[in-house]
Amino acid sequence: MTFYDRFSTPMRFLRNSSQIIRRRTWLIGALSVITVAGALAAVNYVKIETEGAYRIILANGIPNHPTGRFPNAHNPNSISAQNYNFRVAVNPRKAARATRLSMQDFGIALNGVPFDPFTAEFWKRDRSSGWNYAAMTGKTDLGLDMNHAHVQPNGAYHYHGLPTDLVKGDSPSRHSHLLGYSADGFPMYGLYGYANPKNPGAGIRKMRSSYRLKKGTRPGGSSGPGGAYDGTFVQDFEYVAGLGDLDACNGRDTLTPDYSTGTYAYFITDAYPFIPRCYRGSPDSSFERRGMAGGFGPRGGRLGPPPGGRPPPGGRPPPRR
pLDDT for res 4: 46
Residue 320 domain-assigned (yes or no): no
pLDDT for res 5: 46
Tally of structural domains, the chain: 1
163, 165, 307 from 96: Cα distances, Å: 31, 35, 35
Residue 38 domain-assigned (yes or no): yes
Which amino acid belongs to residue 235? Q
> Residues 102-131: pLDDT tens digits?
878 999 999 999 999 999 999 999 999 999
> Residues 58-117: pLDDT tens digits?
999 999 999 999 999 999 999 999 999 999 999 999 999 999 998 789 999 999 999 999
**CA–CA separation, 147 and 150 (whole Å):** 9
pLDDT for res 102: 83
Residue 133 domain-assigned (yes or no): yes
Beta strands in 161-214 (DSSP E): 178-182, 187-189, 192-196, 199-206, 211-213
pLDDT for res 32: 56
pLDDT for res 104: 87
Residues 6+ apart with CB under 8 A from 10: none
Residue 63 domain-assigned (yes or no): yes
Mean pLDDT (whole number) for 170-179: 97
pLDDT for res 34: 55
pLDDT for res 121: 93
Residue 234 domain-assigned (yes or no): yes
Residue 321 domain-assigned (yes or no): no
Range of the domain at 43: 2-315
Whether the bond into 257 is cis, omega within 30 of 0: no
> Residues 236-293: pLDDT tens digits?
999 999 999 999 999 999 999 999 999 999 999 999 999 999 999 999 999 998 653 3
| CB crowding 50-74: b at 16 or more within 10 Å, else e | eeeebbbbbbbbbbbbebbebebeb
